[in-house]
Structure 1
Amino acid sequence: MAQLIKLENYISRYQKDPFHYPGQFIRLKQENWRKLVQTWEQQLQIETEIDEQDEPAENLSKWKQFFHRREQVESEMDEESIIEDLPATKDDLKQYFLNMLLPFQLKWASTTIQEMSFLDRSYYDDLTLKYFLQRFPDTFLLLYRPVFQFKNAAMDGDIILITPIGINIIRLIEIDSTKRLIAGDDRTWYSEENNVRSRLLSPMLSLKRTEKIIRSILSVNDLEIPIEKVVLSRTNSIDFNTEPYLTTFIGKEQHEQWLSEKRNFISPLKHNQLKIAEALLQFSDTISVRRPEWKQDDSEKDFNL
């Protein structure tokens, strides 16, 4: 599960300590996954024993209630904080766990101990955000459409993944699946259906703008890392003659292989990776207010499931 270190112009606790939170997230995630699996296995065992004994259904309900209790970790999450029936299979349990982690990631990406940003609730249902968070490794650090404050001007950035070995700047293009995309120049692309073409603004415009911002920040901080621009479409084919320099086009035919390569990438967090994350976060625009009532947070409590 990729880590959401910056969400647009919201305050992020990763900004306060980019060297601490990435490692802490991985550790807490692993601990809570083990706890959830243990609870799930105990529940299956109890249900099996009750089925074998053919006990009344009300007794089974009592056992479920016992194993479904958990601590309330968000004051604003009442019913959401109660575990309902756990899934029947291990694969479904994994997806259940990833969904459970989303609110905690959004909290970390919109609050610190003393400050908060007013989070748009639509992010809880943002399927694109879920895709990038849930389908990439823990050591990938995600800046989701960040806003950079650069030379007294706010500049929107594309989706950025900081991996242990490089930066991917990603522009997502998804239109009607019956159409195909045709790569043009730096200003104009096309969509085509039934031999009818329509103009689109080239994704290379924003990708190059984001790349320029990142390279400027890295240069100021004397940092280096490979940067790749990616045009990604999970729903459409992309027709092109040649890919621009340091750019990859990933259409629907290439998507699964590209994603599989990312998911199977194994590497610990790297110091240079965290230095780069720190530099980009320092130049990120942030809008926040002081929390009206705050107390010393125990970040580990955020992960008690």
Structure 2
Amino acid sequence: MNEIKEFQRSVGVTKSDEFKKKYLATHAINGGLICGHGCAYCSTPSLLRTHALFRNIGVSSFQYFEQGNSIVDPWTAIRVGRQISNLGPEDMVMISTITDCWSPEAQKHNLGRKILEQVLVKSKCKVRILTKNAAVQNDFDIIKQFGDRIRIGLSITSPVSKENIIKLIEPNASMISERIDTMIKAHSLGIKTFGMICPVLPGIGNDTASFEQMLSSVLECDPESIWTEPLNPRGPGITRCMQILESNGHKSIAAQFDMIRTSTLHMFYVEELINMTTAVAKKLNSVDKLKILVYANGDGYKVDDQAVIWLK
């Protein structure tokens, strides 16, 4: 990681129709603009390409991200405290949706915990925590106090057997084994959990054996529901992953990323993923918990879509 920029935004809690469609949350809280985990497939720079900040500093959101930089908003919790009181028990706030509030630069400001304290003390809404960082366990003390209102999930993006490969494209996130251990610890403490096997990456998680390993490890934590989705083709993320993998000697996996860059082959990858994940969930008696997120309306797909949430 290179530069960490502090930037004060105007938003704290935002309504999220998109995450409501996904059955994940009604509202979202994020701790900045670009997360320091540096996941190569991240689509957040695509969402920020017209943001005034990047015009002011003279680089694009893509360039800033590729330089290994991050943008954190240490004042987020203050605004959250002012805005959160209107939310009631029927609302679900998700921390985080586009930037991780337990990423390295957020940890320096204890941002995840500060946000949690504001939400839990000043509102009655439910909370869904999503992170790729095992550091969230440092806040299990406060999470346990409000356990009936909180669900916690750590993104699982590869089986443990491939965690050294995924580390190349998620350089500053916790190891997969550490994320799973954190989920297991949460469950042992009576904290409610949910599964997030996202994204399912070509050559890393989209074969039956790998997905079964990932789903099995999540099921150990008795999650209420489990979400999964294909890799988002938006922006240069696929190409970036391909280049990193190829330069580190994983040419066969890189080739599988390369294959899904065209719309036709990406659709084929999504079709196979839907059928494979559904079949594995049936085998593990968990298809009732599975939610497969797909940015399409279902037209033209030849799939078993009983677990699919079509988002268009």
What band does the TM-score fall into relative to the shorter chain? under 0.3
Q: Which structure ranks higher in relative contact order (CA pairs < 8 Å, sequence separation ≥ 6)?
A: 1
- The structure whose Rg is larger is 1
